[in-house]
Amino acid sequence: MENFRFSAVAKAWEHKPVEVKPMNVSVPTFFGRQVFTRERMRDYIAEQTLEQLFDAIDNNKPIGRELAGSVAIGMKKWAMENGATHFTHWFQPLTGGTAEKQDAFLGFDREGRAIEEFSGSELYQQEPDASSFPNGGIRNTFEARGYSAWDPTSPAFVIEDRLCIPTIFVAYTGEALDYKTPLIRSIDALNKAATDVCNYFDKNVRSVCMNLGWEQEYFLIDEALYAARPDLVMTGRTLMGHASSKTQQLDDHYFGTIPERVTCFMTELEQEALKLGIPVKTRHNEVAPNQFELAPIFEEVNLANDHNLLIMSLMEKIAHKHHFRVLLHEKPYAGVNGSGKHCNWSMQTNTGVNLLSPGKNPYANLQFVTFLVNVMAALNRHNGLLKASIISATNAHRLGANEAPPAIISIFLGTQLTQALNEIENADEDKGIIINAKKEMKLGVSHIPEILLDNTDRNRTSPFAFTGNRFEFRAVGSSANCGAAMLALNAVVAEQLIDFKAEVDALIASGEAKERALFKVIRKCIRETKAIRFDGNGYSDEWKAEAAKRGLDCETSAPLMIDRYLDPASVMMFEKANVLTLQELKSRCDVKWENYAAKLQIESRVLGDLVKNHVLPAAQRYQGVLLDNVLKLNKVFGDEAEAMTKEDKLMITKIARHNDEILRLTDEMAALRKVANHTEDARERAILFHDTVVPKMEAIREHVDELELIVDDELWTLPKYREMLFIR
């Protein structure tokens, strides 16, 4: 009987690069071609309507249904000219991906004749089934009503035959059932809080926007090999597989020449992304074999998040055309680097100033230090919450591994910046603060002007690192909706800035000069954030022990990390910032726990299936071959066969022991899974899966991986790491 594994490997090697036709035009010519940008709106919408629309978007005003009706007319005309026959509200439910319900541009006139129609009400609002998406108990199955509502700050776009309208998604009772709604709320909260603090330095600042530059890491695997691995198909990761002799130890893949087949995939992906206005800029090989990275130019955080979700969808569609499958799981292969989605985050004023970039003079650097230490203070206050925002069943495999940030949130600043903050903290207040007419300032601190020269090194072990003019949140997982991390980050910084301003204003009201008041509160923040500042090796056991001494959140159980959303301080912070209510927080925790348990339930069932239908039959067939050989040798050579059969007998015994242990552990895993499945409380169910089922899965894998080395290669039915990781 033919081994399906070998036919899959042969098919994978037969796949050739798929030719991609060049655009034959400059990038600016086709960039955003499929997006209803402001520039295109001018060609399809009346000037008066445009002024009202832009005023509403720019000044955060509600858009009335009458205005939406006028916009819909032009939007439909543009979309149909670009091949659209349907429209859809494109939203972000708590599944982590995107969702859409497609409707045709179809209606009837008074005479009953079919017409192409798209009304303002259809643009403004739709009604997806709110009970069929994760909702954490907010909606009962019989309470199906939910609403998606147009987000005009993120432009509509055409993909294939449909007009996609970015929207929020809320329950009939008003609670957010998505990531976009609280993300937008957090943007509003931080905008106001940061603007108020900016006005200490520049009264011309009217708004502050948050920018995001994500770095999307991913693996590619040939689709023939993917199809031959049921665990990859159903869970996104390999539940078993012995390490290949060669993996990433030579560091030869990182930034190496991109294979031709992959280049063709990347080229088509970039072309389609650019048409949709996604400013992709960087591509390269990552550390692990067949691992790659894609990164765009920074954008406003809400739009950047939309673009990241869109690019993940594009990757999967285009990879299929090139006979690849994209693996966005954080840890698809054991023993090699996992994949993250580094979120580079910064704040910028309407006057063009990056608040996390050192200024051109000491006074500007005081503003920079103000925002720097407030971000540090925010993370220090809500250390566990930021970890909860990025944890998942899939990211739990990656965090703490040797290439990923540890499951402890700390901040890396670099030697020079750390020294500057130390000098500010220890400066002699009696020397005072002198500011002349040109706003030059002396703090009695020599290093403040030198921040201009900051060339901070990078620390890949830090989950939250300052990298010169932004913070890089490295702990976010590759498959995640980065809105979850960004809304938490925005909210905690907003709360901190509000409290910072209250302290400064109180000092000013007591007669303190503004600059001295700022300086005093900054120094207080610097002293209070020492615990979270760490520039060393985050992988070391010494750091884990030190972090615990400092009082940082060192929890390693994913279900227990989620508890931090419901800490009184977290609830108060989210409600104060008007980002998430207590009910919404509870629902999100339930969704996270349910998702965690569901993923592990699937994994354990798939593992049991693979063990019983692939691993044990292969092991038993090989055991039979060895037994047959022993019997034949004994028959031919009699007593002389004892020495000849010694190794075979040892191998037979090894296989029997591994088989017995695998069967025992698999039965125990199934029994524990049933106990967890019958536990009604979502949190307790997730904890049971983590504490009881996962250890059995890990133990089963150890035995299976040992068998993979023992069993005759021709009898092993599942593609091996050496075959999956090195296909070109």
pLDDT bracket for residue 405 (50, 70, 90): low
Q: Which of 45-49, 107-111, 683-687 is modeled with the greatest confidence?
A: 683-687
Average pLDDT in the 434-462 region?
48
DSSP state, 37? Answer: -
- Whether residue 427 has pLDDT greater than 90: no
pLDDT of residue 439: 43
pLDDT of residue 366: 87
Dihedral pair phi/psi, residue 86, rounded to 5°: -135, 165
- Whether residue 381 has pLDDT greater than 90: yes
Place of tokens 């508890």: 563
Read off the pLDDT of residues 33-43 as tens digits, 9 standing for 90 and up: 999 999 999 99
Q: What angle do CA 6, 7, 13 make, to 5 degrees?
A: 90
- Whether residue 118 has pLDDT greater than 90: yes
Place of tokens 């603007």: 195
pLDDT of residue 403: 54
pLDDT of residue 61: 83
User: DSSP string spanning 414-438?
Assistant: -HHHHHHHHHHHH--GGG--EE-TT
What is d(CA 143, CA 138) in angstroms, rounded to the nearest whole number? 9
Which segment of 243-247, 495-499, 501-505, 529-533 scores lowest on mean pLDDT? Answer: 243-247
What is d(CA 598, CA 668) in angstroms, rounded to the nearest whole number? 18
DSSP state, 611? Answer: I
Read off the pLDDT of residues 453-506 as tens digits, 9 standing for 90 and up: 444 555 667 899 998 899 999 999 999 999 999 999 999 999 999 999 999 999
Tell me what percent of the residues of the chain surpass a pLDDT of 70: 93
> Could you tell me how many residues make up the chain?
728
pLDDT of residue 576: 92
Place of tokens 């989950």: 463
| Close Cβ partners of 424 (under 8 Å, ≥ 6 residues apart) | 369, 443, 445, 448, 519, 522, 523, 526
Rounding to the nearest 10 degrees, give the CA dihedral for residues 67, 71, 72, 78: 180
pLDDT of residue 716: 97
- Whether residue 430 has pLDDT greater than 60: no
- Burial of 111 from C-beta contacts in 10 A (0-12 / 13-18 / 19+): exposed
Q: What is the pairing mode between strands 162-171 and 86-91?
A: parallel
pLDDT of residue 363: 65
Read off the pLDDT of residues 126-164 as tens digits, 9 standing for 90 and up: 988 777 888 888 877 666 678 999 999 999 999 999 999
- Whether residue 450 has pLDDT greater than 60: no
- Whether residue 428 has pLDDT greater than 80: no
pLDDT of residue 2: 64
- Whether residue 445 has pLDDT greater than 50: no
The residues that bridge with 343 in the sheet, in sequence order, are: 214, 473
What is d(CA 356, CA 370) in angstroms, rounded to the nearest whole number? 9
Read off the pLDDT of residues 599-623 as tens digits, 9 standing for 90 and up: 999 999 999 999 999 999 999 999 9
Average pLDDT in the 430-438 region?
43
pLDDT of residue 361: 67
Mean pLDDT of the chain, nearest integer: 91
pLDDT of residue 453: 40
Greater confidence (252 vs 679) lies with: 679
pLDDT bracket for residue 652 (50, 70, 90): very high
Tokens representing residue 226 in the block:
């993917």
Tell me what percent of the residues of the chain surpass a pLDDT of 90: 74
DSSP state, 354? Answer: B
Greater confidence (311 vs 256) lies with: 311
pLDDT bracket for residue 538 (50, 70, 90): confident
Greater confidence (305 vs 255) lies with: 305
Where residue 326 falls (left for φ over 0; alpha for ψ -120 to 50; beta otherwise) is: beta
Read off the pLDDT of residues 664-704 as tens digits, 9 standing for 90 and up: 999 999 999 999 999 999 999 999 999 999 999 999 999 99
pLDDT bracket for residue 362 (50, 70, 90): low
Residue (of 66, 267, 273) closest to 157 by Cα position: 273
Greater confidence (445 vs 84) lies with: 84
Q: One-letter amino acid identity for 175?
A: E
Average pLDDT in the 186-210 region?
97
pLDDT of residue 134: 86
